[in-house]
Structure 1
């Protein structure tokens, strides 16, 4: 015969683990819900017609908004973001300033992906830049991502291949007036660049996984207390 023996100290420890597991599981669930809401907002924004980007536009309020830019590329200031593979191929992302028509403001545009220059990895691969005034489409981004920087970053100069890029640093190096945001070009301007931009990594699945783990900890702690509380015999002091 089995009887249950209540033990105050193990019960207190179990109760603490259950409360902790449920609380942290709920928190991870809220984080997942918040990021799902962001994902739905981004999907809704991507379905909206592109907005004409004005020089006075607030980049923070336009984050992830589809926009149209009219102006011209500054062909003398191309730079590239290194270590940006695409479909298993090594390559770079070409970034160039785009001067908005009727303004001195420049927007750093991620034009697209290029395969690495096999002849000289320290040189930009060949690419074409449409001349004159044109209208392009893209998505406003607060950053173009950030990769771990090993050692000193390469100095910003025309044709530089760098790991990361900052709008303020680019403005200081180029002497151009640069907006504090970026645009990932999506429309085709006849240059042959690849533009398979990855979707923003929101980490919803990570939070859902952590939520399951914390709930599982709470359940296992409760089950362990119950199972180990039963023992053979009718004498609870045995």
Structure 2
């Protein structure tokens, strides 16, 4: 076997493996781009749903269906007695670059307990300190939006039964918070409507990443997939020419 034949076979194997790797990488990046497009569509549908449902008349807690997915993002009006000694502080909430907490307090209505998210409050400089929260003048009627919290399985660190009140928590886990509270809590949270007179900041963002950002990521993945194919094709072509010259 001649030297040129050996070189040709060696190059052919390298070219084949390079092409296989390029195809796999391109397919992976294309799949990620398609996934980002799907996420953009999901976010667009959610924003459209929120806009449509926010235009409806406020619901009463007594009119809620069993399937709460049907009324998520609906306006809701509740009245009752605040359980002011039981304050949950949702940790690591960011507002305009500042770290703070979201304040959640149960409200009692005919032996039903509903968590109300009153909004964001700034955290003290020291991690050992908790914010000074005055909830003595809370209104007995609250208007807000019905929100279904999603538990993040990646978050394992949270409060425990030995913690004192106010209690710092890492996520809204209704089942766990019900145990700490001592009574079952409704499986949803009321996000209190913005109020200029309130000391709590209420800038709710139900969709953290916009559809436009997902679309931008999709374009980047598709561009990378195309670049991978082009670079590989050019490299193979140059290799073939170089081998022919030899």
Are 2:100 and 1:74 aligned? no
Matched ranges for 1:49-60 at <5 A: 49-54=57-62, 57-58=65-66, 59-60=68-69
Is 2:43–2:207's contact at 8 Å kept on the other side of the alignment? no
- Go from structure 1 to structure 2 and tell me whether the alpha carbon gap of 1:157 and 1:49 turns closer, same or farther (over 3 Å shift): farther
- Structure with more helix by fraction: 2
- What is the TM-score when the length of structure 2 is the normalising length? 0.72
CA distance in 2, matches of 1:48, 1:159: 35
Task: Tell me the SS of whatever aligns to 2:93.
Answer: coil
Unaligned runs of at least 5 residues, structure 1: 1-6
Unaligned runs of at least 5 residues, structure 2: 1-11
Which stretch of structure 1 is more off in the superposition, 179-188 or 222-231?
222-231
Task: Tell me the SS of whatever aligns to 1:49.
Answer: coil
- Quote how far apart the aligned CAs of 1:106 are: 0.8
| Aligned counterpart in structure 1 of residue 208 of structure 2, from 201, 206, 216 | 201
* Structure 1 match to 2:220: 213
- Quote how far apart the aligned CAs of 1:109 are: 0.6
Are 2:199 and 1:192 aligned? yes
The total of aligned residue pairs comes to 231
* Structure 2 match to 1:174: 181
Is 1:136–1:187's contact at 8 Å kept on the other side of the alignment? no
CA distance in 1, matches of 2:179, 2:159: 18
- What is the TM-score when the length of structure 1 is the normalising length? 0.74
Are 2:141 and 1:135 aligned? yes
Task: Tell me the SS of whatever aligns to 1:177.
Answer: coil
- Quote how far apart the aligned CAs of 1:186 are: 1.0
- Higher RCO structure (Cα 8 Å, ≥6 apart): 1
Write out per-residue CA displacement over residues 105-138 of structure 1, whole angstroms, 9 at most, x where no aligned residue.
1101111223335699534413133468x32111
